[in-house]
Chains A and B, each alone.
Chain A
Amino acid sequence: MNELVLTLGWLGIYAPMALGAASSAIGCSIAGMASIGAMTETEGGYGRFVGVSAFPSTMVIYGIVIMFTLNRDVTPENAGGLFGIGILSGIALMYCGIWQGRACAAAINATKEKPEIFGLALAPAAIIEGFGVFAFVFALVISAGIS
Chain B
Amino acid sequence: MSGQDAYIALMCSLPGSERLFVAKQPPLSRIRLERRLTALTAKDAEVLNVLEHTLSWSAYDMDVTDVQAIQRCKQALQNIPQPTLRKLFMERMELRSVVAALRLRKRGDPAPSGSFGVGRWSCHIPAHWADPTFGLDTPMPWLKEAHQLLEDEDPLGLERLLLLISHKQLKRYAARHMFDFEAVAIYVLIWNIFDRWAQSSATEAAKRFEKLAQQAMADVADIYFEGASA
Query: Which A residues contact B (CB, under 8 angstroms)?
Result: 29-30, 33-38, 40-41, 102, 105-106, 108-109, 112-113
Contact = CB atoms under 8 A, between A and B. Distances in A.
B15 A41 contact: yes
B88 interface: no
Given A29-B1, A106-B178, A34 B14 contact: no
A105 B18 CA distance: 18
A113 B15 contact: yes
B8 A105 contact: yes
Nearest to B8: A33
B1 A37 contact: no
B112 interface: no
Contacts of B1: 29-30
A41 B5 contact: no
Which DSSP category, helix, strand, loop or mixed, fits chain A's interface? Answer: helix
A78 B178 CA distance: 44
Contact of B10 (A35, A37, A112): A37
A33 B19 contact: no
B16 interface: yes
B125 interface: no
Taking each of B1, B5, B18, which has the highest tally of chain A beta carbons within 10 Å of its own beta carbon? Answer: B5
A112 B18 CA distance: 13
Nearest to A108: B12
Interface of B: 1, 5, 8-16, 18-19, 178-179
Given A29-B1, A30-B5, A102-B5, A109 B15 contact: no
Closest 5 CB pairs of A and B: A37-B12, A37-B9, A37-B13, A33-B8, A33-B9
A114 B124 CA distance: 46
B19 A105 contact: no
Contacts of B9: 33-34, 36-37
Nearest to B15: A41
Taking each of B8, B10, B11, B178, which has the highest tally of chain A beta carbons within 10 Å of its own beta carbon? Answer: B8
A1 B19 CA distance: 64
A22 B33 CA distance: 34
A38 B13 contact: yes
A108 to B, nearest CB: 6
Given A30-B5, A105-B179, A113 B13 contact: no
Contacts of A105: 5, 8, 12, 178-179
Contacts of A33: 5, 8-9, 12
B11 A109 contact: yes
Contacts of B18: 113
A71 to B, nearest CB: 33
Nearest to B17: A113
Nearest to B36: A40
Taking each of A33, A34, A102, which has the highest tally of chain B beta carbons within 10 Å of its own beta carbon? Answer: A33
A112 B16 CA distance: 9
A106 to B, nearest CB: 6
Contact of B12 (A29, A34, A102): A34
Contact of B8 (A30, A41, A112, A113): A30
Nearest to B16: A113
B19 to A, nearest CB: 7
Given A40-B13, A41-B14, A34 B8 contact: yes
